[in-house]
Amino acid sequence: MARPGLIHSSPGLPDTCALLQPPAASASAAPNMSGPDVETPSAIQICRIMRPDDANVAGNVHGGTILKMIEEAGAIISTRHCNSQNGERCVAALARVERTDFLSPMCIGEVAHVSAEITYTSKHSVEVQVNVMSENILTGAKKLTNKATLWYVPLSLKNVDKVLEVPPVVYSRQEQEEEGRKRYEAQKLERMETKWRNGDIVQPVLNPEPNTVSYSQSSLIHLVGPSDCTLHGFVHGGVTMKLMDEVAGIVAARHCKTNIVTASVDAINFHDKIRKGCVITISGRMTFTSNKSMEIEVLVDADPVVDSSQKRYRAASAFFTYVSLSQEGRSLPVPQLVPETEDEKKRFEEGKGRYLQMKAKRQGHTEPQP
């Protein structure tokens, strides 16, 4: 089957949405993607101009806005694929977002091109790769701003607690399936490890000292309303990610007292669905600082206040990395975090390990160097 090509959106669809379908090829629509052949369109592209209300305090597009667009594209293509065969209808729910790097800032007035493609399916999950390009419509210049990998599971519309089977895809090369299976097993193991350590909570501290964990830790309480949810009454994964990014940004700004921007997001794990009417608490705390970056852990807890039979539960968790910027946009040194308790010191060392591991990967090594 030939790779899909770009066509204009059909009548009834938003002007900002384009669908990739056969027969022509389009390398620019989904750069660096080489997914399998499938019976339904294997790639889509969503386009939107960035408006002033998408800006952060530094004037660039808010990182949470980009994360939300990424999730919207992933949800569309995975839901379409999971309903591509006759059978029980379903909606694809976001289960995990792999590490996402913010490669370049996006500016107000630029057009965001969000391309999504299915790259692997297991029996009960779909892997979607998403690229984000920014376009300056005055000069025509384009640049890659984000790359992300998302995992979705299909939930039955009749019973949202029931996970359905995913229609298989046909791979053009056997290596694609083997590589995808390795990625699937790796993320499955990491999800289990994260869920095991998710009993932790963020407690407020009176009169904390500057540069301590307690000084910058922050929480946001949000009542989940209809505008936050899908048609089936559950919060969009993109809405949750945007709130998480906002809290992480507050923590970073309190710690540095400068302009800050999202540099990357480590894997975001969605442990349980959040229903309409829940009160969610998004808590963030500093875990590690290097000379030029900060790692912030963000936890999302859901309290189903209208359902007395269900207790408060952990819905999502992630690590965000921020950098401090001057008014001119130059990188600034980060005040060093002062861990006080044994738990804070332990989290600091764990964060340092993640930092060194990613630094080694960027330098082309498999292991951090001493």
Which of 245, 259, 266, 269 is catalytic? The answer is: 245
Q: What element of type H or E holds 297?
A: strand 294-303
SS (H, E, C) 226-284: HHHECCCCEECHHHHHHHHHHHHHHHHHHHHCCEEEEEEECCEEECCCCECCCEEEEEE
Q: At what angle do helices 237-256 and 63-82 cross, to 10 degrees?
A: 160
CA-wise closest residue to 280 among 297, 305, 259 = 305
C-beta of residue 310 within 8 angstroms of C-beta of residue 246:
no
Q: Tell me the CA distances in angstroms from 155 to 82, 88, 125, 336, one per residue in order.
A: 9, 10, 10, 44
Given the residues 56, 60, 83, 259, the one annotated as active site: 56
Write down how long the chain is. Answer: 370
Considering only the C-alpha atoms of the chain, give the largest distance between any 2 of them, rounded to a whole number of Å.
64
Measured in degrees and rounded to the nearest 5, phi and psi for residue 56 equal -95, -175
Query: Which amino acid, residue 272?
Result: D
Residue 56 designated active-site: yes
Tokens 């909606």 label which residue?
A: 91
| Lookup result for tokens 């940004």 | 249
Catalytically active residues, by annotation: 56, 245
